DNA sequence: AAGTGGTCTAGACCACGCC
DNA sequence: GCGTGGTCTAGACCACTTC
């Protein structure tokens, strides 16, 4: 049929009225039926536009109570956690990795809180340096549960990074991540060729599949690295 | 009417088939019409389910090419950037701020790349320490454009933080953020009572409204702080 | 009880993109 | 060309929430 207004146009118009304070924060905006009449379109189309705005946190919707302009702008940013090889190559660098350690280890005590496997779970520990244009870029320390991913013990980690192998072979249902600063210890200082105590950006991530822990990884980035996002 | 299957049920069933590798990564899944027939529902309902999965990055969709299981799990995390007062109070701490500096400044050269205002734009510079239970929590340095937000010059920043005032009074259309590590300089070392050179976690954010820069802020967190998120 | 958003249907046309 | 997803319609019933 293609008459009236498209849902994206309605979304933009509503956004405009909110940004120009025609509809104030906290204020009730017209209901779907009225907006459909104003825009000469079906109520479904208005619904789509407002639903997207609600998902984005711009408005809040409740049955019977109606649709209101959200009081707080959505202080949210989507963080994309890239595959290291892709991050390096996206910046035009050449990627290389060096596998330093690969051995079975039990869970170290300091990880008991972050990585919830029992002390007897067999784990594979790997330590890898990722290079960008032959300069050390990321220092990776990873524990992977061989209970959750038995095949990982036989993975060829020289051809493929642990990250890539797991992405291809171990689905996960959730995870958590943290971001912080560390001082370079002797090992990191040597790896990055900086002084001991240098401030480095680091992240830790755990992933699991239906409550079963899969892997825990700590990445320490080279000096000066910034993780970026837009919103 | 309420027959067939709801779109959430379809979404869950598709997710199940993907997680159980019934549909492999990269593989083409049946088209909307066929799935609608299988689930005894309208094509619109299948469309809704698959659209949500595409938004979440679980599948990729192209006209004519069809719907495929995404090769990479969505390495995405939604980062909520909290209001500092709320972050402190959510952890059960008592919040207090101390406004150290409030004066007009022109744009410092080192920010020219990050905060794109002209050199002649009048800016208000504020420097604030945020406390949690009377311990210094965050050191904030902020530049705010008085062209974009003239009223900010008269804001009562003792009653309300700059962040809160801007959230209430200055809508924004976008922004970017970066996350990194810094070494404590003399000022930060004194503020947090740590040694010079200590590694601290920091973020920088800029926001703008329709290309017009509003504010640029650098937050340096207390030693040991971790920013966390789940996915 | 009544108003409002949430969802579903059946059908239609359109837009993109592979061939 | 033509198959596939993207969108829109008009109508209907449902579910939740406030009154």
| Segment among B18-27, B143-152, B222-231 with least mean pLDDT | B18-27
Task: State the pLDDT at residue B74.
Answer: 64
The answer on pLDDT for A1 being more than 60 is no
| Segment among A194-203, B19-28, B45-54 with least mean pLDDT | B19-28
The answer on pLDDT for A4 being more than 70 is no
- Return d(Cα A51, Cα A187) in angstroms, integer: 51
| Segment among A52-56, A95-99, B78-82 with least mean pLDDT | B78-82
Task: State the pLDDT at residue A168.
Answer: 76
The gap between A109 CA and C17 C1' (Å) is 55
Tokens 């309208």 — which residue?
B42
Which A residues, 31 through 70, put their C-beta within 8 Å of a C-beta on chain B?
Answer: none
Q: What's the mean pLDDT when you consider all of chain B?
A: 90
Q: Cβ–Cβ of B81/A72 closer than 8 Å? A: no
The gap between A124 CA and C15 C1' (Å) is 50
* CB B218, CB B204: distance < 8 Å: yes
Q: What is the mean pLDDT of residues B30-36?
A: 93
Task: State the pLDDT at residue B4.
Answer: 59
Name the minimum distance, in Å, from the CA of B166 to any CA of chain A: 10
- Taking the whole predicted model, whether its pTM rises above 0.75 is answered as yes
Query: What is the gyration radius of the CA atoms in chain B, in angstroms?
Result: 24
Q: Which residue has the higher pLDDT, A70 or B211?
A: A70
| Segment among A41-50, A100-109, A121-130, A171-180 with least mean pLDDT | A171-180
Task: State the pLDDT at residue B167.
Answer: 81
- Return d(Cα B164, Cα A119) in angstroms, integer: 46
A92 in contact with B at a CB cutoff of 8 Å?
A: no
Of A78, A81, A231, the CB nearest to B175: A231
Q: Which two tokens mark B100?
A: 């150290």
> Which residue in B57, B122, B217, B201 sits closest to A75, CA to CA?
B217
Q: Cβ–Cβ of B181/A167 closer than 8 Å? A: no
B90 in contact with A at a CB cutoff of 8 Å?
A: no
Task: State the pLDDT at residue B5.
Answer: 74
Q: Cβ–Cβ of B168/A228 closer than 8 Å? A: no
The answer on pLDDT for A50 being more than 90 is yes
Percent of chain B with pLDDT over 70: 97
pLDDT band for position A73 (cuts 50, 70, 90): low
Closest nucleotide (C1' vs CA) to A8 is D7
Digit-coded pLDDT (tens) for B159-188: 889 988 888 787 777 788 999 999 999 999
Output residues with Cβ under 7 Å from nucleic strand D: A 1-8, 40-45, 48, 62-65; B 1-2, 31-33, 43-44, 47, 50-51, 54, 61-67
The gap between B66 CA and C19 C1' (Å) is 15
A120 in contact with B at a CB cutoff of 8 Å?
A: no
Q: What is the mean pLDDT of residues B108-133?
A: 91
Q: What is the mean pLDDT of residues B8-30?
A: 89
Q: Which residue has the higher pLDDT, A124 or A83?
A: A124
Task: State the pLDDT at residue B1.
Answer: 40
Strand D: which nucleotides have any atom within 7 A of a protein Cβ?
Answer: 2-18
- Return d(Cα B213, Cα B104) in angstroms, integer: 16
- Return d(Cα B181, Cα B190) in angstroms, integer: 18
- Return d(Cα A45, Cα B152) in angstroms, integer: 39
pLDDT band for position B191 (cuts 50, 70, 90): very high
Q: Which residue has the higher pLDDT, B209 or A101?
A: A101
Long-range contacts of A27-31 (CB under 8 A, 24+ apart): A27/A68, A27/A69, A28/A66, A28/A67, A28/A68, A29/A59, A29/A66, A29/A67, A29/A68, A29/A69, A31/A66, A31/A67
Q: What are phi and psi of B63, to 5 degrees?
A: -60, 145
Of B72, B82, B199, the CB nearest to A75: B82
The gap between B70 CA and D10 C1' (Å) is 36
Q: What is the mean pLDDT of residues A64-77?
A: 82
The gap between B75 CA and C16 C1' (Å) is 28
The answer on pLDDT for A2 being more than 60 is no
Among B1-10, B73-82, B168-177, the range of highest mean pLDDT? B168-177
Q: What is the mean pLDDT of residues B91-102?
A: 94
Q: Which two tokens mark B227?
A: 């920013």
Question: Which domains does chain B show, CATH number per domain?
Answer: 7-69 (1.10.10.10), 84-221 (3.40.1410.10)
């Amino acid at each position: 049929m293609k008459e009236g207004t498209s849902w994206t146009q309605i979304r933009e118009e509503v956004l405009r009225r909110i940004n120009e304070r025609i509809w104030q924060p906290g204020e009730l905006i017209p209901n779907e039926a009225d907006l459909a009449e104003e825009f000469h379109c079906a109520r479904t189309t208005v619904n789509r536009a407002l639903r997207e705005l609600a998902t984005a946190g711009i408005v809040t919707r409740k049955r019977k109570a109606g649709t209101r302009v959200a009081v707080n702008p959505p202080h949210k940013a989507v963080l994309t956690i890239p595959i290291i090889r892709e991050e390096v190559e996206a910046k035009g660098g050449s990627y290389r990795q060096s596998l330093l350690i690969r051995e079975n280890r039990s869970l170290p005590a300091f990880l008991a809180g972050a990585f919830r496997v029992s002390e007897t779970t067999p784990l594979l520990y790997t330590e890898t340096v990722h290079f960008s244009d032959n300069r050390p870029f990321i220092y990776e320390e990873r524990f992977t549960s061989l209970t959750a991913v038995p095949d990982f013990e036989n993975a060829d980690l020289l051809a493929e990074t642990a990250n890539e192998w797991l992405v291809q072979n171990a689905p996960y249902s959730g995870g958590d991540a943290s971001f912080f600063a560390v001082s370079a210890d002797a090992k990191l200082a040597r790896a990055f060729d900086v002084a001991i105590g240098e401030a480095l950006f680091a992240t830790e991530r755990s992933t699991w599949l239906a409550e079963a822990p899969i892997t825990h990884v700590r990445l320490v980035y080279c000096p000066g690295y910034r993780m970026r996002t837009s919103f």
